[in-house]
Amino acid sequence: MNAEIKNSMDAKHFRTGYIAIVGRPNVGKSTLLNHLIQQKISITSKKAQTTRHRIHGILTDTQSQFIFVDTPGFQMRYRNQLNQIMNRVVTQSVRDVDAILFVIEARRFDERDEQVLKLLPTNIPVILVINKVDRLEKKHQLLPFMENMARKFGFAGIIPISAATGSQLPALLEMVRPYLPESPPLFDEDEISDRSERFLAAEMIREKLFRLMGDEIPYSTSVVIDQFTIEGHLRKIFACILVEKANQKAIVIGKQGEKLKLVATQARKDMEKLFGSKVYLEVWVKVKSGWADDVNTLKNLGYE
């Protein structure tokens, strides 16, 4: 921890708290978290619903430590056991936080946003984050939209931002800061995530599946890390992609193994950047029929 932060940590008024980022799929929650903590931790993709786990991103400055909880979007499309568990994670993650960032898209508030809004507690400050304002052609349309939103809920604050460009993010942090309780930091400054490297490695592979596969495939896959060892500056990782059907296995592997090779190579490069070391990665594909409906398998995979 650097001296400046250490000094102000000793000061009385340091603040530390948990902040949940909620919102329907695709509003930009992961992009926001990544930009705030300046490091690729949460995964982003053009496809909706790529975030399945709670991920903590941590930002420490001279006065405060912001511990972010990224939550999965609400699943509307595939109503199986997995989706119910994901929705429970959302509800749980907003319960124990000091502030909530409710993310929506500029000038777009649909029934899915409404559904998320209904689940928000009234005893925790909720800041309405209107994202993607960089896309707005007519900026003057923003004000009536904000006024309209203010009538829907007792927001602690409303702020238009662009998670992609980073516009207004410092102002957003200033809006959140007063809601964090006075407390010394809970994590070391260098700790950008409380998730294990093992988990992050699986997320990197999952992100590549979302990026490189056709529409339906990623929703029926899961990634398990069979083995993760650190030998000096080398991380050796053996991972397994679980699919539901044999034909999906063939799609994931691709012609002469090309698709899988691409997934593995890109994931390995991301891991090397994130872990700051060389990575040896082997990825296998296995058929595990009906995994998305099997509660025991889900528990084994780490979904509570």
Ligand X SMILES: Nc1nc2c(ncn2[C@@H]2O[C@H](COP(=O)(O)OP(=O)(O)OP(=O)(O)O)[C@@H](O)[C@H]2O)c(=O)[nH]1
Tokens 């052609």, residue?
Answer: 137
Output phi, psi for 49, to 5 deg. Answer: 60, 50
Compute the least distance from the CB of residue 208 to ligand X, in Å. 14
Counting contacts by CB under 6 A, is residue 45 touching ligand X?
A: yes
- Residues 155-194, interacting with ligand X (CB under 6 A): 162-164
Minimal distance in Å, beta carbon 103 to ligand X? 7
> In the complex with ligand X, which residue's Cβ is closer, 164 or 298?
164
Sheet with 99-105: list strands edge to edge. 55-60, 64-70, 15-22, 99-105, 126-131, 157-160
Nearer to ligand X, 92 or 277 (CB): 92
Q: Does 46 bind ligand X (CB under 6 A)?
A: yes
The alpha-helical segments, DSSP class H, found in 151-244 are: 169-176, 197-212
Smallest distance, ligand X to C-beta of residue 31, A? 3
Q: Kind of pairing, strands 234-243 and 278-287?
A: parallel
Nearer to ligand X, 214 or 232 (CB): 214
For ligand X, the binding residue among 6, 135, 286, 299 (CB under 6 A) is 135
Least gap, CB of 7 to ligand X (angstroms): 35
- Part in contact with ligand X (CB under 6 A); list of ranges 129-137, 150-158, 180-188, 196-204: 129-137
**CA dihedral over 64, 69, 73, 74, signed as positive or negative:** negative
Which tokens in the block code for residue 217? 């495939």
Stretch 67-86 residues interacting with ligand X (CB under 6 A):
72-73
What is the nearest approach in angstroms of ligand X to the Cβ of residue 12?
Answer: 36
- Ordered strands of the 222-231 beta sheet: 222-231, 234-243, 278-287
Interacting residue with ligand X among 9, 25, 63, 284 (CB under 6 A): 25
Residue 99's beta-bridge partner residues?
19
The answer to whether 189 touches 60, Cβ cutoff 8 Å, is: yes
Residue 167: count of CB within 10 angstroms of its CB: 15
- Please tell me whether residue 235 binds ligand X under the rule CB under 6 A: no
Tell whether 71 is in a known binding site. Answer: yes
Phi then psi for residue 288, to 5 deg, are: -130, 95
Is 34 annotated as a binding-site member?
no
What's the CA gap between 92 and 94, in Å, rounded? Answer: 6
Residue 110 as a binder of ligand X (CB under 6 A): the answer is no
Q: Does 26 bind ligand X (CB under 6 A)?
A: yes
- Interface ranges with ligand X (CB under 6 A): 23, 25-31, 44-46, 48-51, 72-73, 131-132, 134-135, 162-164
